[in-house]
Amino acid sequence: MKKFLSFLVVILVSSMFLAACSSSSNESDGEATEGDQVVIDFFHRWPNEPRKSFYDEKIAEFEKLNPNVKIKVDAVLNDSYKEKIKVLVSNDNLPDVFTSWSDTFAANLVSSERIMSLNDIMAEDPDWSGNIIESQYAGFTFDDVTYGIPFTVDGKAFFYNKQIFEENNIAVPASYDELVTALDQLKAAGYETPVVEGLTNGWAISHYMGTIFDRVVDNSVLVKDYTAATGEFTDPGYIRGLEIFKELTTYMGDVSTAIDHEAARNMFAAGEVPVLYMQFAEVKYVQDAGDVEFGFFNFPEVKDGEGRPKSLTGAPEGWMLSKNAPPEAVEFLKFLTSEETAKAFTKADGQLNAIKGGVTEETSNPTSLEAYQIILDASDATPWFDNAIDITIADIFMRGGQELATGQTTPEDIMKKVQEAAAKLRNQ
């Protein structure tokens, strides 16, 4: 009998332990409560300042307004975020409210069938949903169903140090050839690395590639190739595009493959490097980190290119909800994307956003307003390359970009691998 009892105790303890393990995995299904409080899991990708503090403040504000709500926040940086959110979605452990990029990134998340459709919520509250710039919904809408609320808008351009350009009588380049000439002039003026990039970040390479391909390859070809079922990547424009990228890396020096984009940005902000391809989202970072006077120009036209000469690379980021998120999470989403929050956000962070009335002369500075206007006026928008194509192919281009910079490979070799991967995807 004693033995039977001890057996029971063992089983009981084991099952309690297992129950404890399994209950933690269901925490984000929106039903988790602490006493009478509703717990909302909030996951974003800004553990760095000033945005971390901004969201911490907004969470505190929301919790004060809704005493029955407790928000558990988690934040990791860009690349880690991409990986972690995939792990969470695969385990059916999605946070209630979380950041998402648009296009293929959002589409992949949506394909998990674990993301909340927002059509009804948007229709119920047109004052809120109608106050977001209509065009920015596109990257989060699939088969007429919207799964994400765009918040930040962005564009990518060459930031240049106005003082250095003036001192050396360099005009803002209007074509790729002029850009190369300007970089040569800067090199002759003593700038060993006239343009720099943190090539350890694959996404930074992908931003270059996406824009360059959009300049040199016909858009209809890109549309076909960027679709997994039809992609072939046989257009000679890709080789030309990779040659352009390789040529640009020759101006980046040895350090580029050993530093990240943040280090490159600090070099620009310190006035050490005259040119850097950056997002408008980074205007405030540059302004805060140094006192360089800077302007920006779009990636210039490539004369013999068959693509779109003036399109702007950039796409919105926004918020998504887990399918099981509680109604309080919807309220939190509305709070995050309200005009009031957008105004405070622009003031605190400097990043441009998709909320009407969020970016004004009162909340922003002339440089950011200029960038905002460029985004609104862009003839065409090119999505971030790593979100525009299948990640397997993007990875070949990103790692290939690093290898091009270190002289380990050739554009032809990269395209051979890309074509093989595309053929495999077509057959799936």
Is 19 a binding residue for other proteins by CB under 8 A? The answer is no
Residues in the chain: 428
By CB under 8 A, the residues from 245 to 264 that bind other proteins are: 254-259, 263
Quote the least distance from Cβ 73 to other proteins, whole Å: 21
Piece of the chain touching other proteins by CB under 8 A; list 11-19, 26-34, 143-151, 287-295:
11-19
d(CA 55, CA 251) in angstroms, rounded, equals: 38
Q: Of 52 and 86, which has the nearer Cβ to other proteins?
A: 86
Among 169, 220, 379, 428, binds other proteins (CB under 8 A): 428
Quote the least distance from Cβ 394 to other proteins, whole Å: 9
Q: Which residues contact 16 (CB under 8 A, 6 or more apart)?
A: none
Residue (of 137, 205, 129) closest to 401 by Cα position: 205
Is 14 a binding residue for other proteins by CB under 8 A? The answer is yes
Q: Residue 345: what residue type?
A: F
What is the DSSP annotation of 167-198? HTT-PPPSBHHHHHHHHHHHHHTT-S-SEE--
Among 63, 218, 243, 395, binds other proteins (CB under 8 A): 395
Q: Of 202 and 241, which has the nearer Cβ to other proteins?
A: 202
The answer to whether 241 and 213 are in contact (CB under 8 A) is yes
Q: Residue 346: what residue type?
A: T
By CB under 8 A, the residues from 23 to 82 that bind other proteins are: 79, 82
Piece of the chain touching other proteins by CB under 8 A; list 65-73, 109-117, 167-175, 344-352:
109-117
Q: Of 106 and 348, which has the nearer Cβ to other proteins?
A: 106
Is 89 a binding residue for other proteins by CB under 8 A? The answer is yes
SS3 percent helix, strand, coil of the chain, rounded to 5, is 55, 15, 30
Look at residue 290 and give its three-state secondary structure: coil
Q: Which residue spans within 93-228 are E strands per DSSP?
A: 97-101, 141-142, 145-146, 148-152, 156-161, 195-196
Among 31, 56, 57, 83, binds other proteins (CB under 8 A): 83
**Tokens (6 digits) for 204:** 């930074």
Piece of the chain touching other proteins by CB under 8 A; list 132-140, 362-370, 373-381, 405-413:
405-413
Q: Within a 13 Å sphere around the CA of 115, how many CA atoms are in the beta-carbon half?
A: 27
Q: Of 122 and 255, which has the nearer Cβ to other proteins?
A: 255
Among 200, 287, 324, 338, binds other proteins (CB under 8 A): 200
- H/E stretch holding 410 reads none
What are the residues binding other proteins (CB under 8 A)? 3, 6-7, 10-11, 13-14, 18, 79, 82-83, 86-87, 89-90, 108-109, 111-113, 199-200, 202, 254-259, 263, 391-392, 395, 399-400, 402-403, 405-406, 408-409, 428
